[in-house]
Amino acid sequence: MDNCNIGDLISIKTENTTYTGTIMPSLDDNVIVIKMKNGYNVGILRDNIKSIDVLKKGKKPTYELPPLKIEKKNDLKNIAILSTGGTVASRVDYNTGAVHPAFTADDLIRAIPELLDIANIKGKAVLNILSENMTPAYWKIIAEEIKKEIENGADGIVIAHGTDTMHYTASALSFMIDADIPIVLVGAQRSSDRPSSDASLNLISAVIASTQPIKGVYVVMHGESGDTFCYLHEGAKVRKLHSSRRNAFKSVNNIPIAKINPFTKDIEYLRKPNKVNEGNKINKESESNKKISINTNLEEKVALIKIYPGIDGNIINYYVDNGYKGIVIEGTGLGHAPETIFENIKYATDKGVLVAMTTQTINGRVNMNVYSNGRELQKLGVIGCEDMLPEVALVKMMYLLGNYDTEKAKELINKNLVGEITEISRFDAYY
């Protein structure tokens, strides 16, 4: 029966049905998986297969189209789309299996030509990784590439990024980059080979956002499950909150900044953006008048520990003994940890390790003055991080300890630097 290989277009006959599609890799030798034209995969038990017809042998897809040559429009902003990989820039690789990142930003423009009505688009693939493999070292590369593009005249930047860790990167870039133009991260939850893909609408919306009179780092993703609008989120106030839905990203402890309609190209501000920049004028040919400075010093010896009943406090000692400079605790409730690990926390702070407290409730604010547990932790030197997300606190600590001594980092960790902390969380950000 196995005269066919992964990548072949085949027709499988079972007792009652005929399935046509491309063979995908299967984890189970008893099952043949094919990707059908509608984009969905179906697995068919070998035992139920009556016959297989190979309609077309598979071959490596080739992408050897010439580079794009497009006339620059003087009344449009110059936007650089930097691709780092991920679903927004992915295709299914029928030869090696499942979904792999592959398209360059150039290919994206080819797929969505209407981007050219919104801005002068430049595309560049700066990385090609799955975002689950993102590291602080890659953040530095991205920051450097952003700097280059701004120096080369970009009026706005779009970063195509895998969604798994997009909020970590958005937050890292928020701290690392000081620019007076918008830097907009965008991803997709469904790859562009699927009819239900959100890649195009997200990318169009991100490019719209990148032409706005704002500055700083943002995330643009679907605002609801349907293909209706996208939200513009602040880069250090957003989190992936669903594994598969298109509206997976939510602003936390604040509402999104704006609603973007990718069909009409309209943007509706829901609140005043924190970082307005009305003066972001269009750069002329090879000119650059935009402020840009980056700071790529990051201390990687920083750990995130999530608290749970029965947690082994010695994990803290492990980090301390291995030279860690900072620990972010994802505590319970208002910022608590079991008293059984107080001695371990004391071990850390006594050795000069910066220990900061966030909450695993995600929504809400740490308040370590209400209960005795929180007060004790403060006496041990633990710093409550207000309404900052644990993921953001982790990245911020890497940034602070990469640039300052521990005393200064301790002073800054719970002060708002780039919008990561709001003084009063909006009531309508949680319901």
**Nearest distance, CB of residue 138 and a second copy, angstroms:** 8
163 annotated active-site: yes
Nearer to a second copy (CB atom), residue 18 or residue 133: 133
Choice among 124, 164, 180, 301 that is catalytic: 164
Nearer to a second copy (CB atom), residue 70 or residue 370: 370
Helix (H, G, I), strand (E, B) or coil at 373: helix
Element (H, E) at 171: helix 166-176
CA distance 189 to 42: 20
Which of 38, 44, 228, 208 has the alpha carbon at shortest distance from 119? Answer: 208
Nearer to a second copy (CB atom), residue 244 or residue 264: 244
Which of 401, 395, 392, 394 has the alpha carbon at shortest distance from 422? Answer: 392
**Nearest distance, CB of residue 280 and a second copy, angstroms:** 30
Cβ neighbour number for residue 64 with a 10 Å cutoff: 4
Nearer to a second copy (CB atom), residue 76 or residue 98: 98
Helix (H, G, I), strand (E, B) or coil at 366: coil
Nearer to a second copy (CB atom), residue 61 or residue 113: 61
Helix (H, G, I), strand (E, B) or coil at 393: helix
Choice among 163, 165, 169, 296 that is catalytic: 163
Tokens encoding 397:
């600590």
- Alpha-carbon dihedral angle through residues 135, 137, 143, 144, given to the nearest 10 degrees: -150
**Nearest distance, CB of residue 383 and a second copy, angstroms:** 13
**Nearest distance, CB of residue 287 and a second copy, angstroms:** 35
Nearer to a second copy (CB atom), residue 268 or residue 300: 300
Element (H, E) at 39: none
Choice among 122, 240, 325, 396 that is catalytic: 240
DSSP secondary structure letters along 397-414? HHHHHHHS-HHHHHHHTT
**Nearest distance, CB of residue 165 and a second copy, angstroms:** 5
Which of 31, 27, 38, 32 has the alpha carbon at shortest distance from 7? Answer: 32
Q: Helix 166-176 crosses helix 136-151 at what angle (to 10 degrees)?
A: 60
Choice among 84, 87, 211, 349 that is catalytic: 87
164 annotated active-site: yes
368 burial via Cβ count (<10 Å: 0-12, 13-18, 19+): buried
Tokens encoding 261:
């309609």
**Nearest distance, CB of residue 352 and a second copy, angstroms:** 19
Going by C-beta distance under 8 Å and a sequence separation of 6 or more, which residues neighbour residue 251? Answer: 231, 233, 234, 237, 238, 429
**Nearest distance, CB of residue 410 and a second copy, angstroms:** 16
Nearer to a second copy (CB atom), residue 290 or residue 336: 336
Would you name the residues annotated as active-site residues?
87, 163-164, 240
